[in-house]
Amino acid sequence: MGKTVFITGASSGFGKACVSIFAKNNWDLLLSARRVDRLKDLQDEFGQITNVHIMPLDIRIKEDVHNAILNVPEEFKGIDLLINNAGLALGLEPAYKSDIEDWEIMVDTNIKGLMYCTRFILPNMMKRNKGYIINVGSVAGNWPYPGGNVYGATKAFVKQFSLNLRADVSGTKIRITNIEPGLAETEFSIIRYKGDVEQANSVYEGTKPLTADDIADIVFWVANSPEHININRIEVMPVCQSWGPFSVEKDSDE
């Protein structure tokens, strides 16, 4: 029998790239996103080679997530892999200038949405004593940078939540991995800059960033690693990205 993967945020970026690689390797697809038209396009494209069920869904709404998972068609209920990919960054202002609503959206999506999907899918994995949860975190959860404030904090949550999940399922055959990408050229910056394409493109000028396919390849490799192996976390950056020095501010009159 084939395997089933549930991918959140499937309509673009890492999620869409994961849809492609898993479909081409004969996994059945459960796909969620808010943009219905894009989900239908994915269903039309990949429904010719594998089974695809789409779920237009805002993962910030707990009841909708619960109902969607409860009403998954019978042939998709045995979810082998959950890819918690849906997430976003909004704004790059310092904390004292940030829009509090942007903070709330990031918390609701990156933390609560991930929690809801995990909580409602994990019990069936426990019952079957099999399954894999791959969370898409970020290097921002490990390394602070100006303007990263709440976004980085949400991804630090993803990192710790992944570790704690692994502790909770200890003794079972369920695996948990956190994938932490660095600079990657997707729609991420366009969303962060609220549709300002020019400003978003400037982020990648003069660089060779990661691509969505790079991350999808890593996710697929992790998902197909031997069943006795648990990869706790993978942090991945392009060669052009690294760490900065410590910041030491000195008084200007000294």
Q: How far apart are CA 123 and CA 76, in angstroms?
A: 15
pLDDT at 1: 57
Asked whether residue 253 is assigned to any structural domain, the reply reads no
Q: Kindly report the CATH number assigned to the domain that includes residue 104.
A: 3.40.50.720
Task: Read off the pTM.
Answer: 0.95
CA-nearest of 203, 205, 206, 209 to 189 is 203
Q: Are 200 and 192 in contact (CB under 8 A)?
A: yes
Kindly report, residue by residue over 140-190, the tens digit of the pLDDT.
999 999 999 999 999 999 999 999 999 999 999 999 999 999 999 998 888
Asked whether residue 251 is assigned to any structural domain, the reply reads no
> How much is the mean pLDDT over the chain?
95
CA-nearest of 178, 145, 171 to 245 is 145
Residues annotated catalytic, as ranges = 151
**Which domain range does residue 18 map to?**
4-236
Instruction: Please state the domain count of the chain.
Output: 1
